A and B are shown apart, each in its own frame.
Chain A
Amino acid sequence: MNFDDTPEEAAFRAEARAWIDANAPKHLQPILSGSGHGTAGDIADFDMLAESKAWQKKKYDAGWACLHWPKEYGGRGATPMQRVIWNQEEGIYAQLSFTFIIGQGMCGPTVMAWGNEDDKQALLPPLAAGEDVWCQMFSEPSAGSDLAGLRTRAVKDGGEWVINGSKIWTSGAHISQYGILLTRTDPSVAKHKGLTMFWVDMRSPGIEVRPILQAHGQSGFNEVFFTDLRIPDSQHLGGVGQGWTVSLTTLMNERLSIGSGMSTGFETLMDYAVRAPGRDGGRLVDDPAIRSKLADWATKASGLKYTSMRALTALSKGEEPGPENSIGKLVAGATSQDIATFAIDLQGEAGILTDPAQAAHAARFQATLMRSPATRIEGGTDEILRNIIAERVLGLPGDVRVDKDVPFEKIPTRA
């Protein structure tokens, strides 16, 4: 049992480390190393966008972009393990890639699997180079966990499709050049059967992007409205009516992003607990009630870390990551919320303060408190993740689905 690289992995790591050391935008180090946890998923501001694009282009020119993609589309043809090693070595600079995660991690692979060759040649290299940002338009106001219940309508009109409807929770739509769009093309068949996927130029007339003001007062996601948007027929990905199968490609690729461990915030809490004074002149860690909480969260943070080491071991042997990796977000999301809530309790009434100059520990816990509800919802709610574990890992039956064989247009929409 060891954590050592194989000789090949070590050589790859050395090569990656040397290149990063010589080329990383080190002037950004103070900003990137100061950013707290719980903010991933919020698209950074426009200065950061320019820096992200510059770093991505530099990587692309040197052959370090989209490591897992084939070379012909701008990638490196690397193994999954090499991709993980790259991510580890890229460290804080990987935050500059957040802008491209959805495009390169989900949209690109979907286009690669289902698009025609001309489109792949035209679309994928600029995506790898960071020239284009892509977004993924799946969720709708009335179709979240029940994604196949989406209502955005695509109607064929000659050689084009006319799209009307709206999407929500679209990360980065406001800075995207392209997107993939899941639509309903046939409401007269069962809900999973009447869907079709398209790729779309986001600059087309008929698309309006509006930022959502989120519950914590920031805007990272958007609503996207389609009013008579026209898409050439050549832009559907996979067959008409095959959209559900195509969307699974996209969602499967999400799972491959293991090793990008989500933070529980435990280290921040521990850091706080050893520094902050407790009652009667002691430290917080001297209180058994506090220790009991800390110990439980310590085992969760550690358990996630070493679960990911086990997954990497399997990956290193050439095994594919399975649905068991769903536990990462499930545990980290709820734990980070619990930790933040507990940490502000420890601050007494001053736990309400949010000005980093006044609040304890630069108001990091307050920031996580307000962001963490989203973590438990985005990319699969806690409840959907539990279903995935129960059904695909433990082999329990799927839910009874009353709408399964009903034509979509006959499914009740009101209680």
Chain B
Amino acid sequence: MQFDFNEQQNEFRQEARRFLAAECSTDRVRKALEGGGFDRQLWQGVAEMGFLGIAIPEEHGGLGLGYLELCAVAEEFGRAIAPLPILSSVYLAAEAIKTFGTPEQQSEWLPKIAAGAAIGCLASSEGERLTEKSVRVAFANGALNGTKAPVLDGDIADVAIVLAKEGDALSLVLVDLSQDGVARKALETVDPTRGQASLTFAGAKAERLGERGDGWGNFQTLLDRAAVLVAFEQIGGADRALEMGRDYALERMAFGRQIGSFQAIKHMLADMYVSATLARSNAYYGAWALSTGAAELPRAAATARVSSTNAFRHCAKNNIQVHGGMGFTWQMDCHLFYRRANQLALALGSLPDWEEKLVMRLAAANEPLAA
């Protein structure tokens, strides 16, 4: 049994951790929080390390490694709460183009994404909980019309994968965002370290990505894969929030003792450890399914997603609680993790959507044979 990362994958993780410790401290995250905008220098550094092209084939400028390497590195981006468009560009756009794109689309965009020269995003939400029937943005005759919002990294992206209505079916389409038919507007959000925008298409030139009518199924496939990768970001963030809370409980004195010697605090931290541990194990299950192409990936992905969403939120909110009043100051980093926990919980669809997917997928696997 080898239900763990191997030595090479762990070395890769260490490399990412060293790089991010040196280049992506929370001071740097704060710059994005305090209106510093997109940190292109950091992004270029990440690209030079090869992290953006881990799972992109070598022929398209990537490293041609597997999803396990990408999961290992994702955990480090999560620990660092990096203010970077990796989710959008790497886990979603690159995966969409790699999986559903034509050879031309792949050779046009994948090398640029791997090099950090182009940023991709996925535009699906239209301002309410998304369903197969709620999509209004329309694609016809090579032109796209309508508004998508919020779009994660829509403020800085060069290319968007858009879920659009095509007649009475849904398709994924690819849109170059550097054209007149696209208007963007930055949006204020709970987590300003990650940009969001509305994208309005007015006859924007677009091309289909994948087959007509396959949009919803392909979109779900993308979400499942990205959910596993995001789960690693979430467990990375959860662990860091737990460590912050633990460290503060060791250092802060009250009533003449370390506050970490009070059971109320100890038990809160123990419960954070439990949820972070369960989430880690579920994320590994997702990583196994993703890396082996297992048929149970949809179940594993939803399990990892729900588990890590709950764990990161749990650890981030209780990290503030352990810190007491200090935890609610701008100056302490606790709120950065609280913000990111909630940002990641909503990206890819919120918890009720994933709870439904998880239970329905489990139910489908559990159907009585006679029924």
Contacts and interface: CB of A to CB of B under 8 A. Distances in A.
Which 8 pairs, one residue from A and one from B, show the smallest C-beta to C-beta distance? A303-B278, A390-B266, A295-B355, A306-B281, A299-B307, A386-B270, A389-B270, A397-B261
Given A299-B282, A396-B260, A1 B291 contact: yes
A331 B274 contact: yes
A74 to B, nearest CB: 28
B164 to A, nearest CB: 27
Interface of B: 1-6, 68, 242, 246, 249-250, 257-258, 260-261, 263, 265-267, 269-271, 273-274, 277-282, 284-285, 287-288, 291-292, 303, 306-307, 310, 352, 354-356, 358-360, 362-363, 366-368
A299 B306 contact: yes
B281 A307 contact: yes
A273 B359 CA distance: 10
B306 A298 contact: yes
A387 B257 contact: no
B288 A396 contact: no
Given A274-B366, A385-B270, 7 more contacts: A3-B288, A271-B366, A291-B356, A296-B306, A299-B310, A299-B358, A313-B1
B303 A302 contact: yes
Contacts of B273: 327, 389-390, 393-394
Interface string A329-363: 01100000000000000000000000000000000
A335 B280 CA distance: 19
16 contacts: A2-B288, A4-B2, A271-B366, A298-B359, A299-B279, A303-B279, A303-B281, A307-B277, A312-B3, A313-B3, A389-B274, A394-B270, A395-B250, A396-B246, A396-B265, A399-B263
Interface of A: 1-5, 9, 270-271, 273-275, 283, 285, 288, 291-292, 294-296, 298-300, 302-307, 309-310, 312-314, 316, 324, 327, 330-331, 383, 385-387, 389-391, 393-400
B249 A396 contact: yes
- Classify the interface of chain A: helix, strand, loop or mixed: helix
Contact of A327 (B1, B258, B277): B277
Contacts of A331: 274, 278
A396 B2 CA distance: 31
A312 B1 CA distance: 7
A390 B270 contact: yes
Contact of B3 (A3, A324, A383): A3
A285 B360 contact: yes
Interface centre among B274, B285, B303 (most CB of A within 10 A): B274
Contacts of B358: 295, 298-299
A321 to B, nearest CB: 14
Contacts of A9: 1
A396 B265 CA distance: 10
B250 A387 contact: no
Interface centre among A4, A298, A314, A327 (most CB of B within 10 A): A298
B359 A291 contact: yes
Contacts of A302: 281-282, 285, 303, 307
B282 A270 contact: no
A395 B291 CA distance: 34
B103 to A, nearest CB: 30
Interface centre among B3, B246, B271 (most CB of A within 10 A): B3
B261 A274 contact: no
A300 B271 CA distance: 13
A306 to B, nearest CB: 4
Contacts of B288: 1-3
B362 A298 contact: yes
Interface centre among A300, A302, A391, A400 (most CB of B within 10 A): A302
Contacts of A314: 4
Contact of A386 (B267, B284, B352): B267
Contacts of B355: 288, 291-292, 294-296
Contact of B1 (A316, A391, A396): A316
A274 B68 CA distance: 34
